[in-house]
C-alpha cells in the first residue's frame, strides 16, 4: 500500500496530536485526582491530622517531686535525698550486650549479683528503658566510665536523688525506709501523682507519712522528635516538694538507748507524758535501712532474715511480751480505784498463795515470803502474793476493764503502721479464742502480768506515761509537726525542754517476764536455763516524780532480772534527758569512786 | 485513515528566522522559566526539609547548575544527530545494565551503581533516555501506526532493559523506563484495541508479578493496601506523611514551621517525601501552585512534542515529557497515599543528583527539538 510505503508527515503529525491531546487530558485528570486527595487530607481531614500531629510531637513528662526531709526534735537530719550516680544501660541502644557487660566489668568492679539483678530487670522492662547496672558509683568509677563512654553506646551515668538515712540502724525502726514501688503498691497509689516516682515508703514513718513526704507531681509538656528526644519545653508545672517532718524523737537519746543495750537484744521506748511525743523508740538490734533503698541484695537480705536476733523485727511496736511485775503498779492503782485495796491494807505473804479450797500453791518469787506487806511494800518488794490476793478480790473483769484505760490490749494509735495490740485477756476473750471458761487461777497470774497477758514495749511506755500524767492516756506520737516546704514559715515551734533540774527522783518498777515455766517443785536457776529461755527483763519508770517529763519502758530479751539489766538502760536514757552533760559526768565519777 | 494531501504550508522553504528569544542558544524560554521557578521553589523547600542545612542547599544548587549545564549542552545537539545515536546508545545501555548485574556495587540491598573508576554511574538512568530514543528511532523508520511486527519488536526492546533493571532490583526505575517506551508506542498511534487488550492482560498478569517481587516490594504493596496494619513498620512512612500533609491545612504551618518534618517524624523528608514537607509548610495553596507549575511544564512539553518536525522528535519529546509526569504522579501519589510506596523522587525538587541529570537532559532534548526546526509554521 502506498500509505505504508510513503511517510505521510501530516497524517502522522495529526495522529500524534490526537494522542498528545489524550495524554494531556489524562495528565490533567491525574493532577485533578491528586488535588482531590490533597483536599481530602488538607481540608476535610485537617482537624483529624492536626490532632495526630500534636499527639506525635507533644508528650507529657511527669516531674517527680522531691521527697520531704525528716528531722529529729533537735533539727538533726534523719532522712535526706543524696545525689548519687548509677551506671545505667538501655538495651535498645546496645548492639552487643554480652561484650558490653564484659568490657564494663573490666573497667569497674561489677559483681555476679549485680549482673543477675540486671538480667532480671532487663526481662521485666521495656527495651528503651534504662536499667541500673551498678548503683552508688564512686567518683573514681564515674570518671572511668565518663572517659570511656564513647565506646559504649546505650551506657550512661545517671544522676539521681537517693534516699539516705545518715543514722542508719539507729533510726531504722522509726523511719522505716523507702524502696522501689512494687506491683501491689501500683494498685493502690494515685497513678498520676506517682507518674514520675520510683520509690515509696515501705514501713515506719516513711510509710505512715507517705502522703505528706511524697509531695505533688509536676508536669511538663515537651516537644519531642521521632526518637523521643526532647526538643523544647512548651509548658512546665513545677512539682511541689513533699513536706518535711519534725519528729519528737531525740536522736541523742535514741543513740544512748541503742548503745546502752550493748550486746543485749530488746527494746526501749521513752515518751513525754505531757505531749505523748515519743522521745526514744529503740529496737535492738537495728539494721541498715540504706540497703533497702535501691533494692537489697539477696545475700544481705538472707543474712538479715536468718539472723537469730531478728534485726528486722520492730520490737517496740510488734514485740509482745508478758509485762511481768511492771504491771503491778497498774494493778495496785486498779485496786485503789475499784475500792478493793487501800494504801494501808496489809496482806500476809507466806511465800505462796492458794485459792480457797484449792491446794495448788501460786509461788512468790521469794520463797520465804515477805510477811505483812502494804501497797507500798508490795511494789517496792514486788510481792507476788499481795497481787494474787488483790487480783482474786477484784476479779478478772474489773482488772481488765481498768487496765484497758491504760491502753493495754489495744493499739496505742501511734503514727506508725504495723503496730500490734498486745493482749489483755478477759472472760469473753478466752471463750472466743479458746472456747473455755476463765479459771480463777488465771486471774491470779494476770495480776502479776503473766499468763495470757501481753503488751508491747510501746504500750508499757504509754501506760507509764499515762500513770505519770495523772491517768490521762495520750496516744504516742512520733511526728511533732509537719512543715510545708513551700510555705514561708513553719507552723510550730519546737520548744526546747528545760534540762537544768538537778537531782531528779525517778519512779520506776522492774519486772521479769517468764519465758520458760518452772514446774511446781522445781527451782528456776538462771545459770542452768539456756540464754534463749531466760526470763525477759523489764523496767518501766518515769521522772521526775514531782513533774514527770519522761516515761520509759525497757525490755531486755532473756536479760534475766529486770532490776539488773533493764533498769540501768532506762536510767541512762532518763539521765541524759533530764540532766546536763556535766551532771552525768559527775554521777559517773561518783559511781566509779564507790565501786 | 484518509490521506490528506500535503498541500498547505508544510513544504520546507529554507531556514526560517528563529522566533524564540533564546533560540540562538537553542533554549525554550517558557520551559526554562517553568523549570527555574520549580527548582527555585524546590531549593526553598529543601532548606526547610534539610533542617536549615545550607550545605545541603548548596550541594543541590551545584547539582542543579550541573544539570542545567547538561540541559544546555544537550539542547545544542540536533535531533537528527540524536536519532543517529539512538540505537548505539540503546545497545551501550543494555551492555552496561548487564555489567551492573555482574559487577555492580552493592548498595541499599540493590545493585544499581557501576564504578567506572573516576565516576560512579547508574546505567539505568542512561537507559531512561535510551529506551524512548530507541523506540522513537525504530518506529520512525516506517510509517505510523506501527504494524504488528514492529510492535512486538518494540515491546521486546522495552522489556529487556526493564527486566534487567527490575532484577537490580529497582522497581521505580523499571517502571519509569517501561512507561517511557510504552508512551512512545502510545503516541505512535497503536490501536485502541491493542491498548485495551494489553491493559486487560496486564491486570490478569498482576498476580504473576507478585512472584517476581522481593520481600520488601511485596511489603510495600501490602502496606499500601492498609498502612494502619503496620503503623510502626512499613506503614509508618505513609501514616506520618499523611499526618504531615493533612496537618498543613489550606495555608500550611509556614516555612520552617513544619513539626512533622522538623521533629523527624517524616522519613526521607528531603528526598522522596519532600512533597509532604511542602504540603505541611505551604498548605493546599502551596500544593496547587506547585502542581500548576508542573502542569505548565508538562503542557509546554506536549506542545513542543506535537510541534516536532519529524516522527522521531515527536515520539521522543512526547514520551520524555510524559515520563516526567509519571515521576510527578508516582511520587505525589505515594506521598499522599493514593499509590504504593515506590522509590521515585519528586522531579527537580527532591534532594539528589542522579535523576536530576537525566531529567534535565530530557528537557535539553525537548528544547533541541523545538529550536532546531528548519521551518516554523505561523
- A1-44 pLDDT tens trace: 444 444 567 788 888 999 999 999 999 999 999 999 999 999 99
- pLDDT higher for B354 or A493? B354
What is the C-alpha to C-alpha distance for residues B292 and B152, in angstroms, rounded to an integer?
A: 37
Is pLDDT above 70 for A381?
yes
- Mutate which: A6, A16, A32, A232, vs B, most B CBs within 10 A: A16
What is the C-alpha to C-alpha distance for residues B5 and B226, in angstroms, rounded to an integer?
A: 56
Q: How far is CA A549 from CA A172, A379, B170, in A?
A: 25, 22, 92
> What does the pLDDT look like over A309-319, one tens digit per residue?
899 999 999 99
Is pLDDT above 50 for A109?
yes
> What does the pLDDT look like over A180-206, one tens digit per residue?
888 888 888 887 788 888 889 998 999
Q: Residue A363: which of A510, A514, A559, A509 has the closest Cα? A: A514
A475 close contact with B: CB closer than 8 A: no
What value does the mean pLDDT take over residues A364-391?
87
DSSP-derived letter for residue A128 is T
φ/ψ of residue B115, rounded to 5: -90, 115
- Dihedral sign, CA of A222, A225, A231, A234? negative
Is pLDDT above 70 for B117?
no
**CB A13 to CB B291 under 8 A?**
no
A255-269, B151-165, B185-199, B258-272: the lowest-pLDDT one: B258-272
What is the C-alpha to C-alpha distance for residues B340 and B324, in angstroms, rounded to an integer?
A: 18
Strands B105-107 and A550-556, bridge-based pairing: unpaired
What residues in A contact B291, CB-CB < 8 Å? 31, 34-35
φ/ψ of residue A224, rounded to 5: -120, 155
**CB A49 to CB B265 under 8 A?**
no
The grid coordinates of residue A87 equal 551506671
What is the C-alpha to C-alpha distance for residues B103 and A524, in angstroms, rounded to an integer?
A: 102
**Minimal CA separation from A131 to chain B, in Å:** 24
Is pLDDT above 60 for B11?
no
Residue in this structure with the C-alpha cell 508542573, named with its chain if needed: B294
Q: At what angle do helices B79-103 and B148-166 cross, to 10 degrees?
A: 40
- Mutate which: A29, A34, A224, vs B, most B CBs within 10 A: A34
**CB B287 to CB A226 under 8 A?**
no
- Quick one: pLDDT band at residue A488, thresholds 50, 70, 90? very low
- pLDDT higher for A37 or A83? A37
Indicate the residue of B298, B306, B336 with minimum beta-carbon distance to A17. Answer: B306
- pLDDT higher for B134 or A231? B134
Is pLDDT above 90 for A84?
no
- Mutate which: A20, A28, A43, A47, vs B, most B CBs within 10 A: A20
- Edge-to-edge strand list for the sheet holding B110-115: B105-107, B110-115, B120-121
The answer for residues whose C-beta is within 8 angstroms of residue A386's C-beta and 6 or more apart is A347, A349, A370, A373, A375, A377, A378
Report the pLDDT value the prediction gives residue B378, as an integer from 0 to 100.
43
Report the pLDDT value the prediction gives residue A325, as an integer from 0 to 100.
85
Residue B148, Ramachandran bin (φ over 0: left; ψ between -120 and 50: alpha; else beta): alpha
**CB A4 to CB B147 under 8 A?**
yes
Q: Residue A71: which of A194, A205, A246, A225 has the closest Cα? A: A246
- pLDDT higher for A26 or A481? A26
Residue A422, Ramachandran bin (φ over 0: left; ψ between -120 and 50: alpha; else beta): left
Q: Residue B210: which of B201, B219, B199 has the closest Cα? A: B219
- Quick one: pLDDT band at residue A228, thresholds 50, 70, 90? low
Beta carbons of A181 and A48 less than 8 angstroms apart: no
φ/ψ of residue A158, rounded to 5: -105, 130
Task: Given the cut 0.90, state whether the ipTM is greater than it.
Answer: no
**Minimal CA separation from B192 to chain A, in Å:** 11
> What does the pLDDT look like over A489-522, one tens digit per residue?
334 333 333 333 344 566 777 777 665 544 445 4
What is the C-alpha to C-alpha distance for residues B167 and A312, in angstroms, rounded to an integer?
A: 72
> What does the pLDDT look like over B29-43, one tens digit per residue?
999 999 999 999 999
Supply angle C-alpha A96, A98, A101, rounded to 5. Answer: 105
Other C-beta atoms lying within 10 Å of the C-beta of residue A227: 9
What is the C-alpha to C-alpha distance for residues A162 and B207, in angstroms, rounded to an integer?
A: 63
The grid coordinates of residue B203 equal 491486570
Beta carbons of A473 and A466 less than 8 angstroms apart: yes
Q: Residue B182: which of A19, A7, A25, A18 has the closest Cα? A: A19
- Dihedral sign, CA of B239, B241, B244, B246? negative
A227 close contact with B: CB closer than 8 A: yes
What value does the mean pLDDT take over residues A142-163?
83
**CB A53 to CB B247 under 8 A?**
yes
CA quadruple B151, B156, B161, B165: dihedral, nearest 10: 100
**CB A17 to CB B329 under 8 A?**
no
Residues listed for chain A: 595
Q: Residue A245: which of A550, A477, A586, A496 has the closest Cα? A: A477
Residue in this structure with the C-alpha cell 480463777, named with its chain if needed: A440
The grid coordinates of residue B259 equal 513539626
Q: What's chain B's average pLDDT?
A: 84
**CB A34 to CB B302 under 8 A?**
no
What residues of A are labeled active site?
Answer: 325
The answer for residues whose C-beta is within 8 angstroms of residue B1's C-beta and 6 or more apart is A3, A11, A15
Amino acid at each position: 500500500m502506498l500509505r505504508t510505503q510513503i511517510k505521510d508527515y501530516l497524517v502522522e503529525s495529526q495522529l500524534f496530536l490526537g494522542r498528545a491531546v489524550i495524554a494531556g487530558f489524562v495528565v490533567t485528570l491525574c493532577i485533578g485526582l491528586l488535588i482531590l486527595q490533597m483536599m481530602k487530607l488538607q481540608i476535610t481531614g485537617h482537624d483529624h491530622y492536626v490532632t495526630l500531629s500534636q499527639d506525635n510531637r507533644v508528650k507529657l513528662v511527669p516531674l517527680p517531686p522531691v521527697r520531704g526531709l525528716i528531722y529529729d526534735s533537735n533539727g538533726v537530719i534523719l532522712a535526706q535525698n543524696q545525689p548519687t550516680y548509677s551506671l545505667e544501660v538501655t538495651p535498645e541502644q546496645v548492639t552487643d550486650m554480652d561484650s558490653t557487660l564484659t568490657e564494663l566489668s573490666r573497667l569497674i568492679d561489677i559483681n555476679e549479683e549485680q549482673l543477675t539483678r540486671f538480667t532480671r530487670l532487663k526481662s521485666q522492662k521495656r527495651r528503651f528503658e534504662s536499667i541500673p547496672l551498678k548503683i552508688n558509683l564512686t567518683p573514681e568509677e564515674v570518671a572511668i566510665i565518663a572517659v570511656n563512654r564513647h565506646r559504649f553506646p546505650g551506657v550512661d551515668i545517671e544522676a539521681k536523688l537517693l534516699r539516705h538515712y545518715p543514722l542508719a540502724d539507729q533510726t531504722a525502726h522509726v523511719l522505716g525506709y523507702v524502696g522501689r514501688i512494687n506491683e501491689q503498691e501500683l494498685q493502690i497509689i494515685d497513678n498520676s501523682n506517682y507518674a514520675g516516682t520510683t520509690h515509696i515508703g515501705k514501713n515506719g514513718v516513711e510509710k505512715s507519712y507517705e502522703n505528706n513526704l511524697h509531695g505533688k507531681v509536676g508536669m511538663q509538656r515537651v516537644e519531642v522528635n521521632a526518637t523521643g528526644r526532647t526538643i523544647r519545653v512548651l509548658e512546665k508545672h513545677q512539682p511541689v516538694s513533699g513536706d518535711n517532718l519534725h519528729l519528737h524523737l531525740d536522736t541523742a537519746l535514741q543513740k544512748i538507748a541503742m548503745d546502752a543495750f550493748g550486746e543485749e537484744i530488746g527494746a526501749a521506748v521513752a515518751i513525754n507524758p505531757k505531749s505523748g511525743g515519743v522521745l526514744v523508740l529503740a529496737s535492738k538490734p537495728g539494721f541498715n535501712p540504706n540497703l533497702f533503698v535501691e533494692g537489697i541484695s539477696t545475700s544481705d537480705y538472707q543474712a538479715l532474715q536468718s539472723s537469730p536476733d531478728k534485726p528486722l523485727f520492730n520490737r517496740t511496736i510488734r514485740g509482745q511480751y508478758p509485762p511481768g511485775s511492771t504491771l503491778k503498779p497498774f494493778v495496785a492503782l486498779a485496786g485503789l480505784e475499784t475500792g478493793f485495796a487501800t494504801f494501808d491494807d496489809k496482806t500476809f505473804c507466806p511465800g505462796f498463795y492458794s485459792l480457797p479450797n484449792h491446794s495448788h500453791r501460786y509461788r512468790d518469787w521469794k520463797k520465804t515470803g515477805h510477811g505483812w506487806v502494804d501497797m507500798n511494800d508490795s511494789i517496792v518488794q514486788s510481792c507476788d502474793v499481795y497481787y494474787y490476793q488483790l487480783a482474786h478480790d477484784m476479779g478478772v473483769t474489773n482488772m481488765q476493764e481498768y487496765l484497758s484505760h491504760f491502753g493495754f490490749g489495744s493499739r496505742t494509735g501511734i503514727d506508725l503502721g504495723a503496730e500490734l495490740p498486745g493482749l489483755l485477756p478477759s472472760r469473753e476473750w478466752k471463750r472466743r479464742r479458746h472456747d473455755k471458761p476463765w479459771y480463777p487461777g488465771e486471774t491470779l497470774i494476770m495480776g502479776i502480768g503473766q499468763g495470757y497477758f501481753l503488751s508491747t514495749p510501746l504500750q508499757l511506755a504509754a501506760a507509764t506515761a499515762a500513770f505519770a500524767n495523772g491517768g490521762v492516756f495520750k496516744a504516742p506520737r512520733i511526728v511533732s509537726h509537719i512543715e510545708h516546704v513551700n510555705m514561708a514559715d513553719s507552723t510550730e515551734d519546737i520548744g526546747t525542754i528545760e534540762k537544768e533540774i538537778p537531782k531528779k527522783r525517778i519512779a520506776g518498777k522492774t519486772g521479769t517476764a517468764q519465758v520458760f515455766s518452772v514446774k511446781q517443785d522445781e527451782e528456776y536457776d538462771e545459770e542452768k536455763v539456756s540464754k534463749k529461755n531466760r526470763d525477759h527483763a523489764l523496767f518501766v519508770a518515769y521522772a521526775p516524780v514531782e513533774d514527770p517529763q519522761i516515761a520509759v519502758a525497757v525490755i531486755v530479751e532473756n536479760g534475766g532480772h529486770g532490776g539488773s539489766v533493764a533498769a540501768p538502760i532506762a536510767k541512762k536514757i532518763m539521765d541524759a534527758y533530764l540532766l546536763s552533760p556535766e551532771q552525768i559526768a559527775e554521777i559517773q565519777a561518783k559511781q566509779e569512786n564507790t565501786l | 485513515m484518509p490521506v490528506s494531501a500535503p498541500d498547505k504550508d508544510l513544504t520546507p522553504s529554507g531556514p526560517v528566522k528563529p522566533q524564540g528569544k533564546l533560540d540562538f542558544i537553542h533554549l525554550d524560554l517558557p520551559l526554562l522559566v517553568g523549570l527555574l521557578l520549580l527548582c527555585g521553589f524546590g531549593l526553598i523547600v529543601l532548606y526547610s526539609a534539610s533542617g536549615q542545612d545550607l550545605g545541603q542547599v548548596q550541594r543541590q544548587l551545584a547539582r542543579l547548575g550541573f544539570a542545567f549545564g547538561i540541559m544546555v549542552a544537550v539542547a545544542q545537539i540536533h535531533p537528527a544527530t540524536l536519532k543517529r545515536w539512538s540505537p548505539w546508545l540503546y545497545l551501550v545501555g543494555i551492555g552496561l545494565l548487564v555489567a551492573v548485574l555482574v559487577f555492580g556495587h552493592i548498595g541499599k540491598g540493590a545493585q544499581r551503581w557501576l564504578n567506572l573508576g573516576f565516576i560512579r554511574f547508574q546505567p539505568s538512568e542512561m537507559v531512561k533516555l535510551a529506551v524512548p530514543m530507541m523506540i522513537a528511532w525504530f518506529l520512525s523508520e516506517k510509517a505510523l501506526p506501527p504494524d504488528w511486527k514492529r510492535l512486538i519488536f518494540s515491546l521486546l526492546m522495552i522489556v529487556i532493559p526493564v527486566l534487567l533493571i527490575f532484577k537490580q532490583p529497582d522497581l521505580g526505575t523499571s517502571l519509569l523506563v517501561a512507561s517511557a517506551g510504552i508512551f512512545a508506542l502510545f503516541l505512535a498511534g497503536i490501536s485502541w484495541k491493542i491498548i485495551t487488550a494489553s491493559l486487560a492482560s496486564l491486570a490478569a498478569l498482576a498476580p504473576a508479578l507478585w512472584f517476581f517481587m522481593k520481600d520488601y516490594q511485596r511489603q510495600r504493596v501490602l502496606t499500601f493496601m492498609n498502612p494502619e496494619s503496620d503503623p510502626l513498620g512499613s506503614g509508618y512512612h505513609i501514616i506520618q506523611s499523611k499526618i504531615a500533609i493533612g496537618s498543613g491545612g489550606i495555608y500550611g504551618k509556614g516555612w520552617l514551621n513544619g513539626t512533622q518534618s522538623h521533629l523527624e517524624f517524616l522519613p526521607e523528608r528531603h528526598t522522596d517525601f519532600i512533597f509532604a514537607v511542602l504540603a505541611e509548610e505551604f498548605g493546599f495553596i502551596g500544593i496547587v501552585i506547585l502542581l500548576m507549575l508542573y502542569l505548565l511544564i508538562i503542557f509546554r512539553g506536549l506542545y513542543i512534542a506535537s510541534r516536532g518536525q519529524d516522527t522521531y522528535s515527536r515520539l521522543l519529546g512526547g514520551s520524555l515529557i510524559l515520563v516526567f509526569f509519571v515521576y510527578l504522579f508516582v511520587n505525589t501519589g505515594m506521598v499522599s497515599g493514593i499509590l504504593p510506596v515506590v522509590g521515585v523522587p519528586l522531579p527537580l525538587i527532591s534532594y539528589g543528583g542522579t535523576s536530576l541529570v537525566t531529567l534535565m537532559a530530557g528537557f535539553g532534548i525537548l528544547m533541541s527539538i523545538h529550536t532546531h526546526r528548519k521551518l516554523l509554521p505561523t
